Amino acid sequence: MSSDRSLIDRTATEIVKLLKSEKISCHDLLDTLEARIGQVDGDINALPTLCFERARKSADDLMAKPVGERGVLAGLPVPIKDLSEVSGVRTTYGSPIFADFVPETSNIAVQRLEREGGVIYAKSNTPEFGSGGNTFNEVFGPTLNPWDVTRSCAGSSGGAAAALASGTAWVAHGSDTGGSLRNPASFCSVVGLRPTPGRVARTPTRMIDDALGVQGPMARNVSDVALMLDAMTGIDVGDPMSLPKPAEGFVSALRSGKKPKKVAFSRDFGITAVDPEVARICEEAAHQFERAGVIVEEATPDFEDAHEIFQTLRALNYAVSYSNLLKDHRHKLKPEIIWNTEKGLNLSAEDIVNAQQARTKLFHRVTEFFQSYDLLLSPATIVAAYPIEQRYVEECNGHKFDNYVEWLAIAYALTIVSSPAISLPAGFTAENLPIGLQLAGPARGEAQVLKGARVLEEILGISAIVPIDPRKNS
């Protein structure tokens, strides 16, 4: 078959069915992707590192197995975010310090994807060490938003989101600490899910019990995210936080068609400024649940101390992760990483104790909240895609933020309580820029979140708009 442009518009679920029926092969998909990347990626820079030779060898090895032994993905190509190691493939973490690093061993998350029939063909661009909500670095430069190439695709899984939106991926691997799966999904009109910590096993690279950072799936629709999550889950002895696969898979859970009974919507969680147009679009999208008989009320848990909790624990994480690099390579680190690492090194024991105690109390408040509501809805990001030249959002609706992280509060409030949260395409601004609606549930409630998102996705009817050819609006 070779390259077939029509395959680009198919969903991942459809592609996997074709693979399992052997109507197409993984080689057909790789040829199609290579051609598509050649056509559009020069305009957006989503996938700066390609490894098609490795991918074709992996495809040969996979196709030598019986169809029933080719895993959940059965040969579906997958790009890996450039924060996670892929054996034999250049992995830079977006940092000049590691510009020429080629690991011998893949991250546990990558190993699992390959065992489940994922074929790795590219690394997706990311900001330096995933730091900040705009995907640019000194190694590969910026990734541009396919909806408007003068705009940011957010971060840190920006390359993954841009690849999905532009048709150079059917599903994508990403990671999330302060919204890095959700913010790019919102900016690019795709779907990104932050799972509960431990749901996706990964090689510990920072603190062994890090519950802020997770890895997870992105795709163009909810069903494909569920498919990808099924391929990513499972316990691994290399990750002491990893959880076993749930008794029912996530694709299977979606088939129930079960909808939530009552959901809450909040424009801002009471802790952040939000662009009025973004708030309006998200509120209108949330109330579309009512068409399915779902009760929608305005409510939120008390997130008042979320800023202090997240900023403290994130700084601690940075101190553990980057203090040695700060000592040896300070001149190669971007200012935001230096600031965050030094903030962590200057924390007192009392600062850390207070943050941990406050986090536990907040977790209990949120857990109690989910006794009354099935889901908590909000904007996934507080603004639409901003100009690519901006490093981050400095102010919104008259409020000036204290630092480069604070504008992400509507995402990181859910990070610190271990809630699974998804960004679902919700609509477009007057400038035709995408807006995502965030849906969150209780810890380990990924199936609950996915089912609710699928119900709303069918009502809104937006997900099928992608992929698109990169464009410039102005």
Residue 474 is a catalytic residue: no
Q: Angle at CA 329, nearest 5°, toward 324 and 335?
A: 100
Q: What is the DSSP string of 161-228?
A: HHHHHHTS-SEEEEEESSSTTHHHHHHHT-EEEEPPTTSB-----S-TT--S-EEEEEESSHHHHHHH
Residue 258 is a catalytic residue: no
Catalytic residue among 180, 242, 378, 423: 180
Residue position matching structure tokens 């960004």: 423
* H runs (alpha helix) in 69-144: 108-115
Torsion angle of C-alpha atoms 234, 239, 241, 244, degrees rounded to 10: 20
Give residues with Cβ within 8 angstroms of 238, minimum separation 6. 108, 201, 203, 204
* Cis before 467? omega within 30: yes
Catalytic residue among 95, 152, 156, 463: 156
Please, are residues 386 and 248 in contact by the beta-carbon 8 Å criterion? no
Residue 180 is a catalytic residue: yes
How far apart CA 296 and CA 308 sit, in angstroms, is 30
Catalytic residue among 81, 123, 334, 343: 81
How far apart CA 283 and CA 382 sit, in angstroms, is 13
What residues act catalytically?
A: 81, 156, 180
